[in-house]
Structure 1
């Protein structure tokens, strides 16, 4: 944040643990506002995650359908998952793609990063593209149930427009996909062995 933003910056003063669950870690920070007054900020601490936009040789992309309990509905999403402690972003992307879809990829490209819930979490998601996909066997976690399917980029765009796709990361992924395919946002592809670095 630049010095020009000092009139917007909040200064952390103290932290209180609210919840340390199996999946969620919630804290309540007391902050000093630019006005000098104090306020509280409750939010979720998150280790970060990855999303993979897998490009098949026939021009389609790899997608999933998964039931999301908070939404009480089945969502269309790009493959994604949470970083393990100390895990490299690309290693996580490769692991999640294989575990959830059975695909491994010959080439990878880091595209960018998104922050899906900036008002109540510090989560960021690294966006990876994968191509040269080779089908193998899925390795789903216990209690994980999802369908893997493929669709054309045009079909995905139509679902985003109609509201069939409302998952934030997948909407952002569709934007990246559209601009990459159009040539507006070029990627730096590297073989799996070369391991491109995340920004």
Structure 2
């Protein structure tokens, strides 16, 4: 469905904005907005710097995944590698950095799949989804206080974990969707070769 030509009947405009919480990573805003019918309402939301997620595919078809404890949920989650963007950092560079730091893998080819807004009702976060192939293993370099278990699984295993509720992470579900559509020939990623100096060049 294409974007509607005129969104004015749905727009909300900020009347008064304030920062309710300013943390080292996230900010929470509490704004008063004017609704399309003229009434006022409150909107509370998290300001997020943005992130990337990588779907790393080994030559034999297995996927590289991670297990890590997610404190808000109080449980270990299965996820694709991901991390937040540094200020001014291009998405591809962040994806390469996060893959190398968290898993030790370096990829020879990359393709940008798209952007995921995983919590648009209460967060500005957008997650760039990247596919990576031509992987070479190496040592991981986790941040201080970061504990991640890296493992590989066949796509059919990941699909089964989604079906039985073992995997519920939104970005990982979207990453699997992209992998499925690519494998089925329905979506065609624009692959780029990436050399050792982290410079990307288009390939046919």
Q: CA RMSD of the aligned region, Å? A: 1.3
Q: In the TM superposition, what whole-angstrom CA distance separates every residue of 1:88-124 from its partner, at most 9, and x where no partner exists? A: 1000000000000000111100011100001100100
Q: What TM-score comes out, normalization by structure 1 length?
A: 0.95
Q: Is the 8 A contact 1:108 1:196 kept in 2?
A: no
Q: Is the 8 A contact 1:32 1:38 kept in 2?
A: yes
The 1:196/1:37 distance shift into structure 2, 3 A limit, reads: farther
The 1:114/1:196 distance shift into structure 2, 3 A limit, reads: farther
1:90 aligned partner: 92
Q: How does 1:76-115 map to 2 (within 5 A)?
A: 76-115=78-117
2:52 aligned partner: 50
1:162 aligned partner: 164
1:189, 1:3 → 2: CA distance? 33
Question: Which one has the bigger helix percentage?
Answer: 1
Q: Is the 8 A contact 1:189 1:196 kept in 2?
A: no
Q: How does 1:13-92 map to 2 (within 5 A)?
A: 13-92=15-94
The 1:75/1:189 distance shift into structure 2, 3 A limit, reads: same
Q: Per the alignment, in what secondary structure is the counterpart of residue 72 of structure 2?
A: helix
Q: In the TM superposition, what whole-angstrom CA distance separates every residue of 1:45-76 from its partner, at most 9, and x where no partner exists? A: 01110000001011101000000000000000
Q: Is the 8 A contact 1:109 1:196 kept in 2?
A: no
Q: What TM-score comes out, normalization by structure 2 length?
A: 0.93
Q: How does 1:166-181 map to 2 (within 5 A)?
A: 166-181=168-183
Q: Per the alignment, in what secondary structure is the counterpart of residue 176 of structure 1?
A: helix
**Higher deviation after alignment, 88-97 or 12-21:** 12-21
Q: Is the 8 A contact 1:65 1:74 kept in 2?
A: yes
1:130 aligned partner: 132
Query: Which residues of structure 2 form unaligned runs of 5+?
Result: none
2:54, 2:201 → 1: CA distance? 14
Q: Per the alignment, in what secondary structure is the counterpart of residue 4 of structure 1?
A: coil
Per the TM alignment, residue 2 of structure 1 is displaced from its structure 2 partner at its CA by 4.5
